Amino acid sequence: MDTPAPTCPTHTRLYEAGQVVAEGFDPHEITDKLRAHPRAVLWLDLFDPDLDDLKAVAAEFGLHPLAVEDAVHDHQRPKLDRYPGHLFLNVYDVEVDLDAPGPQLRKTEISVFITERALITVRKSAGDTAKLIARWDADAGLAPDAGIGFLVYGLLDVIVDGQFAAARRLDEAMDKTEDEMLEEGGAPRAVRLYGFNLRKTLAALRRPAAPMAGLLADVMHADTALVDEHLAPYYRDIDDHARRTLDTIDHARDRINSLLDADLNEQSNALNDVTRKLAAWAAIIAVPTALTGFFGQNVPYWGYEKFWGFLLSLAMILVSATGLYVYLKRRGWL
């Protein structure tokens, strides 16, 4: 019986003992290929399939309707669900663009059906499968008898490495921002906006990265039968990278929050300095204003209508204003 063929773009590969024995064949040939190579496992990639495409594949591989429904709808959470005869995995491949006015996170949602002899990936947006293929080809001799667990390892390794690389790039991008934010008087508006975008991007990255450690623990669980003794250390290595990714994200988020708080405090300090200087100058101006107001009253005073009285008033203005200026300068108000 031929496999019902989906109409969406597909990519097929057949692996036996870690080596590619067939590639690029029509989905109609899947059944014959698996029959001809009883020890081989299949990778079938579907790009943006509709419900009918997935139903065609589900009929051949016995996929659960709920898993098929999750694979069709976007924005599923990262998870691993168990169904009779297969597993359903949902993960996100990520990339960070730091060249834009603000950092941007690009995510590719990948839904995965894991059966005894097939790894079926469903990509809901354009993504690069070349790095996934390259990882499988580079690790061809990793576990010749691991079966489908070998393909699952390569997929998860690429996903977690991508998330870790994105977290490190965001953390490194913060170095320059940190120097600019800690300048005297507060950071320029453009730098603050970049900092806010960094924090927003870190939050967006944390959502797909945070569940990965728990997801990997479920994959390595004994009842999945995916991870044998030979592959177990490699899966633990992915788990370590997943935990380091989350630690890097949390550290970077705490760091940017501290920088933004420090910048806000610096702006407040600068505003206080300006306010204090304005108050000091107002006090200096108020003294001669008060004196000239006093001497300008229509009552006699020392030196009234005398030239020496004018000199006396002028000297009092200069002495009082200068004294107040010296006092405020020593106090650091000016």
Domain ranges of the chain: 10-266, 267-330
Q: Give the percent of the chain with pLDDT over 70.
A: 90
pLDDT of residue 218: 92
Q: What percent of the chain has pLDDT over 90?
A: 48
Residue 46 has pLDDT above 60, yes or no: yes
pLDDT tens digits, 91-143: 999 999 987 677 899 999 999 999 999 999 999 888 778 999 999 998 887 76
Q: Which pLDDT band holds residue 317 (cuts at 50, 70, 90)?
A: confident
Q: Is there a contact between 191 and 272 (Cβ–Cβ < 8 Å)? A: no
DSSP element (H, E) containing 120: strand 118-123
Higher pLDDT, 286 or 227: 227
Measuring CA to CA, which residue among 82, 108, 120 is closest to residue 6?
A: 120
Q: Of 152, 164, 28, give the one whose Cα is nearest residue 96.
A: 164
Amino acid at site 3: T
Beta-carbon contacts of residue 86 (< 8 Å; ≥ 6 apart): 61, 62, 63, 64, 67, 113, 114, 115
The predicted-structure confidence for 246-271, as pLDDT tens digits, reads as follows: 999 999 999 898 888 877 777 777 77
The yes-or-no verdict on residue 1 having pLDDT over 50 is: no
CATH architecture for segment(s) 10-266: 2-Layer Sandwich (3.30)
DSSP letter, residue 77:
P
The reported pLDDT for the residue numbered 158 is: 96
What is the arithmetic mean of pLDDT over 160-175?
92
**pLDDT value at 53 more than 80:** yes
